[in-house]
A and B are shown apart, each in its own frame.
Chain A
C-alpha cells in the first residue's frame, strides 16, 4: 500500500508557471496511471489530466502532466497562470483496483 504526498499549498503570480508535485511513497510512480483533478471553491472536482499526461476534454494546453521516476513523483504544470486557475488540485493513482488520492494542494494565484 502506498500514499501520494502533495504540498499543502503553492502560490504564484499571474502569467507565471507553477508545478505541483505528487510523490508516491512506495512502488514506482510509473506502475499505475496518475490523474489530476481541479476543484474550484464551491464546485465539484473536474479531471484535468488522465493517464499521466493526457489533457481532459476542454482543458487548455497550459496544463500538462508528467512523471519523474528519479523522484518517484508525478507533476502538474500550469503555465501562463490565470486567476481562474486558483483552486485545489488533487492527484490520484491506483493500488491494484484500489484508488489512492493525494491530500490536495491549494493553488493561490496572486
Chain B
C-alpha cells in the first residue's frame, strides 16, 4: 500500500508563497495508472480539492484557485509538490496529498497557517 507524507513550513506570511511537498513510499509516482492530488480543509470547514497531476505532467486545477496554484512532480525524489502564491488568511488549512488510481491513499495532512 502506498504511503504519502506531506512536508513544508507550517507558517507562511500573507502575500507570500505556500510550498508543500508530498513524499510517496511503497511505489513510484511515475505510475501511468495513478494520479496525484492536493486537497485542503480550513479548520472547522469542509474539504476542497486543489489540484491533480499525472506523471506525464498533465495537471488540472480547481477553477477557484487556478490563477495561484502550480503542481509539479519530481520523479527522482518520488515526490510531488504544491505552490500557492499570494496567500491570505483564507488559505489557512490542513493540506492533504492523495493518490488516485486503484486503491486511493491519503496523507495525514499538514497544517499551514497564514499569519504575519
Is B74 part of the contact surface with A, judged by Cβ < 8 Å? no
Is B26 part of the contact surface with A, judged by Cβ < 8 Å? no
State whether B46 touches A57 (Cβ < 8 A).
no
- Chain A, interface size category, equals 20 to 34
State whether A99 touches B106 (Cβ < 8 A).
no
**Which residues of chain A (76-110) have a CB below 8 Å from chain B?**
90, 92, 96-104
Q: Which residues of B contact A101 (CB under 8 A)?
A: 39, 46-49
Q: When chains A and B are docked, how far (Å) is the Cα of A47 from the Cα of B47?
A: 13
State whether B60 touches A97 (Cβ < 8 A).
yes
Contact of B109 among A44, A56, A97, A102 (CB under 8 A): A44
Please list the residues of chain B having a beta carbon within 8 angstroms of any beta carbon in chain A. 1, 35, 37, 39, 41, 46-49, 52, 60, 62, 94, 96, 103-104, 106, 108-109
Q: What would 27 A/B residue contacts be, using CB atoms closer than 8 Å?
A: A35-B104, A37-B47, A44-B96, A44-B106, A45-B47, A45-B106, A46-B106, A47-B104, A47-B106, A50-B104, A56-B103, A57-B1, A57-B103, A90-B46, A92-B47, A97-B35, A97-B60, A99-B37, A99-B49, A100-B49, A101-B47, A101-B48, A101-B49, A102-B46, A103-B46, A104-B46, A104-B47
